[in-house]
Amino acid sequence: MNTSDDMQIFLTYGDIALASSLILMVLMVSWRLRLHLTKTLLMAALRTVVQLSLIGLILAWVFAREQWYEVLSILTIMTLIAGSAAKNRVKRRYKGLFIDTLLAVSISAVLVTAIAIMVILDVQPWYTPQFVIPILGLILGNSLTAISLTSNQLIHAFYEQQARIEMMLSLSATPFEAVHEQVRTAIINGMTPTLNSMLVVGVVSLPGMMTGQILAGADPTQAIRYQIVTMFLICVSSTLGCTISALLTYRRFFNENQQFSLP
């Protein structure tokens, strides 16, 4: 660890190695309690180091060049990976699930990121990698979690409440009326982590983005302002993503004759 005159702390590879050794405590807990997580923990730790190291090299290169097509390529890859990750977290799959999760992730995240970059922050040019890449990444990470929770809850409800849905359809309810309660519950379920974070932010938890900025020597008041903005962006993108995902998913369970049908 090295420090400058303004008390900014610069991490060395030795500091990272020391921090990684703390994983041994987690491995010990897993071994003693027979959690059978040793392999998963080691893989997660290894991927964390490798993936972040690689993205650090890539971002350093992209930041130095600032070419719009390179930035756009990275944003596209990030969005595709987020859509795939959201799909992989859904336990019960159906044909077209990847398309639905990708649309929900991309529409919500790209729209909110565009508003943040072009309206709120007024970044010039819009493809400045220092801003657009971390903001989209932050929004994608939270949106894919919300979307996967929504999809899981909704699909599970469709399987468990098939008889109730078919009964409502027999009573002349429209497809959306028949599944409205399930859709509403699924969206709430997907939004719960985001809402819980907003309720305790600054009181119980200090978010990673704000903590990182403060540790890097940024003005705490500016760090807080950025965190407020990002929390609102995450809330909006999660809400849009959950809603889009739920609407796309429920349509997959009705055929062209508006009859409910499990895949």
Of the listed ranges 3-7, 17-21, 41-45, the one predicted with least confidence: 3-7
**pLDDT at position 156, please?**
94
Confidence of residue 181 (pLDDT cuts 50, 70, 90): very high
Share of the chain above pLDDT 90, in %: 47
- For 128, phi and psi rounded to 5 degrees? -60, 110
**pLDDT at position 1, please?**
55
Confidence of residue 102 (pLDDT cuts 50, 70, 90): very high
Would you say residue 7 has pLDDT above 70?
no
pLDDT tens for 73-96 read 999 999 999 999 999 999 988 989
Predicted TM-score (pTM) of the model is: 0.82
pLDDT tens for 13-31 read 888 888 888 888 888 988 8
**pLDDT at position 242, please?**
95
Residue 80 corresponds to which tokens in the numbers above? Answer: 């595709």
- 99 three-class SS: helix
Say which residues have a Cβ less than 8 Å from residue 246's Cβ, sequence separation at least 6: 150, 151, 154, 183, 186, 187, 190
CA distance 174 to 193: 31
Cα distances (Å, whole numbers) of residue 148 to 94, 98, 184, 186: 14, 11, 15, 10
Would you say residue 168 has pLDDT above 80?
yes
Would you say residue 6 has pLDDT above 90?
no
**pLDDT at position 3, please?**
54
pLDDT tens for 117-157 read 999 989 999 999 888 998 999 999 999 999 999 999 999 99
Q: At CA 100, angle to CA 99 and CA 102, rounded to 5?
A: 65
**pLDDT at position 136, please?**
93
Q: At CA 61, angle to CA 58 and CA 67, rounded to 5?
A: 110
CA distance 145 to 86: 7
- DSSP state at residue 133: H
Candidates 100, 133, 142, 110; CA nearest to 238 is 142
Mean pLDDT for the stretch of residues 42-56: 88
Would you say residue 4 has pLDDT above 70?
no
